[in-house]
Amino acid sequence: MLAGFPEELLDQATSLVTGKQNQANLRRAVSSGYYALFHLLIRDTIVHWSNPAHHPRLARTFEHRSMKTASASMLNRLATEPGNFLPAELAVRDKLRLVAQGLVDLQQARHRADYDTEEPLDAADALLRVEQAIDAFYTWQEIKDESISQDYLYSLLFRDRAF
């Protein structure tokens, strides 16, 4: 995977949503925001694979539907897992919830932006989705090395979603 590609997609989303307000730009902005988060999570998963020559092939094994399902499972885990968590652990869990919910929401928004062209996409909604991508993107940077975040990455790749 190209270094910096997720960041370039996020920049593209921002440029498109703040530029000329037409349907093509707004729809591409939503799509680029989703793909920025999608590729960021893939990159942060495959970096743990010891042979860099395998990274491009490994990156192509990720599936949108599986990643959405894994994100929904993580959201369920975060909502129902019993435990007495320290404040720092609760903060990480809240941030992971923002990332996982972001992937779910942004994937749905991308589908609407790319395929539901009968209704115009509202500029405010497009901006909201790009802001959601930005929040998830940078929140992920804060928590990506946490144990529960690593569990999340594992679940994005492997069908065995047990934590």
Indicate the pTM of the whole model: 0.91
Q: What is the DSSP letter of 85?
A: -
User: 81: buried, middle or exposed (CB in 10 Å: 19+, 13-18, 0-12)?
Assistant: exposed
Instruction: Say which residue the tokens 């994005």 belong to.
Output: 156
Vertex 136, ends 131 and 139: CA angle to 5°? 120
Residue-level pLDDT at 2: 56
Q: What are the mean pLDDT values of the chain's consecutive 10-residue runs (163 residues total)? A: 84 97 97 97 88 80 91 96 92 98 98 95 97 98 97 86 52
* 162/33 Cα distance (integer angstroms): 28
pLDDT at 67: 94
Question: What is the spatial distance between Cα 100 and Cα 74, in angstroms, rounded to a whole number?
Answer: 7
Q: Map out the domains of the chain with their CATH numbers.
A: 5-157 (1.20.120)
For position 162, what pLDDT does the model report? 53
The residues near 141 (Cβ < 8 Å, ≥ 6 apart) are: none
C-alpha to C-alpha distance for 113 and 110, rounded to whole angstroms: 5
With beta carbons less than 8 A apart as the criterion, state whether 133 and 10 touch: yes
